[in-house]
Amino acid sequence: MTDLSVVDATILTLKDPITDEQSMVGNAILIASSLVGIGANFLVKMAGSESGLNPNAVNRNGGASGLFQFMAVTWASMVHVYGMKYNINVIDVFKPKANAVMGALYILENYGPLKELLNNEPTETDMYMAHFLGLGGAKKFFTALLNNPEDKADTIFPAAAKQNTAIFYDPNKNSLSLAEVHHLLGEHLDRGAKAASIIFDGIKYTNGTDVT
């Protein structure tokens, strides 16, 4: 089972003491979890992996912004669909609550189609792939992964590879396979969990063990 359900049993609490900014970010993610119905444990791991829980983070290669690292075109599209309901504007991308709510909504949008594609409950890593590449990119990735997991991922996703070299290449700049990229994203989620543990108590790694 994934961690995406409204009835997710994992309960996260904010550490004490933490800074005012950490409290603002932590509460923003908890509010987004409650509003949208996405498990807080998954949200904090993704935000930790994507931005290190820095609401002002910007990817210097691609320009992705905020807690959940939205590209400008994706952010504008999400605001167009959900902005009025949640009182979020295009200029709010660096506001923790706005970015967290949109991050949760984007995950929710991807969940159903990805479950249908895989004909199974998507794992946290699968869901992260949909956030990382977009739903269309994830469909392309999983189709290729099922056909030949040893294919080099950068040949199929050259633009994404250029913007995210740490995901598509090893430290010696060798191209990683599709299977290796999928595995590496899971490791990134666990690093996100470790980063988020500075703010939250109760986080669990992707294998279900507690972050200590």
Tell me which residue of 101, 95, 121 sits closest to 36, measured CA to CA: 101
pLDDT for residue 149 = 98
With both helix axes pointing from N to C terminus, report the angle between 72-86 and 96-118 in degrees, rounded to the nearest 10. 110
Please report, in tens digits, the pLDDT of each residue of the chain (212 residues total): 444 543 355 789 999 999 999 999 999 999 999 999 899 999 999 999 999 999 999 998 889 999 999 999 999 999 999 999 999 999 999 999 999 999 999 999 999 999 999 999 899 999 999 999 999 999 999 999 999 999 999 999 999 999 899 999 999 999 999 999 999 999 999 999 999 999 999 999 988 888 97
pLDDT for residue 7 = 37
What is the value of pTM for the model shown? 0.91
As a whole number of angstroms, the distance between CA 14 and CA 2 comes to 22
Angle at 12 between CA 11 and CA 17, to 5 degrees: 145
107: region left, alpha or beta (phi > 0 left; psi from -120 to 50 alpha): alpha
CATH of domain 13-201: 1.10.530.10
CA dihedral (26, 9, 190, 95) in degrees, to 10, reads: -20
With both helix axes pointing from N to C terminus, report the angle between 20-36 and 96-118 in degrees, rounded to the nearest 10. 40
Q: Where are the domains of the chain?
A: 13-201
